[in-house]
Amino acid sequence: MSPKCPALFGRPHTPGLGPALQRVAECIRQTLPQAQILMESQTAADAGTDLGLRAASISQIEAEADLAIVLGGDGTLLGIARQLAPRGIPLIGVNQGRLGFMTDLDIADLDTALPPLLRGEGTIEERQMLSVRVLRRRAGQDPTAPAQVVFEAQALNDAVVSRGSVSRMVELDVFVGDHYVQSLRADGLIVSTPTGSTAYALSASGSILHPALAAIILVPVAPQALSSRPIVLPAEAEVTVVVQDGAGTELHCDMQALTALADGDEIVVGPSPHRVRLLHPKGQDYFSMLRRKLQWSANPTHLGRPDPIPPAR
């Protein structure tokens, strides 16, 4: 269905944001003359000019909007997606970043690519998220007593336990459910969703997971033992990482939410009850995106040729 109240978001403190927002607003007005357009308050402040749109807080957008259009890169989209996921508001990403795995539209193609989505001709894709908690016990506390939750966050890409600024490895015990998996000595550990499998996990030699998979992947970062390898787990698995020796160790969620860790901390990562809803152009092709953005599986003999046509069934 066509949205009645789209909301606009922009990458904070981006020079020249106003003209791009103006283009998006004009495109919405021409396609949906009756739509009530909201603009997130910080975006409105960064626009640098009055676009004639009502500025709204996140809470107002959550209550009123039925679509979010995000101008920026993947980092901007990740932050907005986590906030809006509990409300089930679909998101469209307009790429103004450097790579843009999750931002389907390019600002140069906006006038032709956005109207079909506004007319309800796109495809909704739901992406799983992670729920992350850090549990801490006081010194001398009864080990059977409940631990205190000192940090909570949601993640769309990944939860990363890393050595922070300290130039030494961390030692981690890893459990899946009630099962001991391994004791890891490494620069860190990534717990990634399929969405995050093309982010930090990929640079650490993790596998690419198709976003339709219900799965997570554990990826050690520069492990001391060469036998430590990535492992794919069911999406409903609960992973517990216990910090054994990790002065300066940190936890990052989507590289945006951060907390310092202490020895004995338990990082519990499980499935989130919320899912991010992305609105894609009709016929959006994940493998084409991989080839275009990553030069994935590029064969020099095929450079410059059109893509092969699938065989008839």
Q: How far apart are CA 18 and CA 299, in angstroms?
A: 41
Q: How far apart are CA 243 and CA 262, in angstroms?
A: 7
Q: How far apart are CA 275 and CA 263, in angstroms?
A: 32
The alpha carbons of the chain give a radius of gyration, in whole angstroms, of 21
Annotated active-site residue in 66, 74, 142, 178:
74
Catalytic (active site) residue 142: no
Query: 11 is written with which tokens?
Result: 């990458």
- Strand partners of residue 151: 134
Query: Which residue from 298, 295, 290 is spatially nearest to 197, judged by alpha carbons?
Result: 290
Query: 152 is written with which tokens?
Result: 């909570």
User: Assign residue 257 a region: left if phi > 0, alpha if psi is -120 to 50, beta otherwise?
Assistant: beta
Name the CA dihedral angle for 80, 252, 210, 11, rounded to a multiple of 10 degrees: 30
> What residues act catalytically?
74
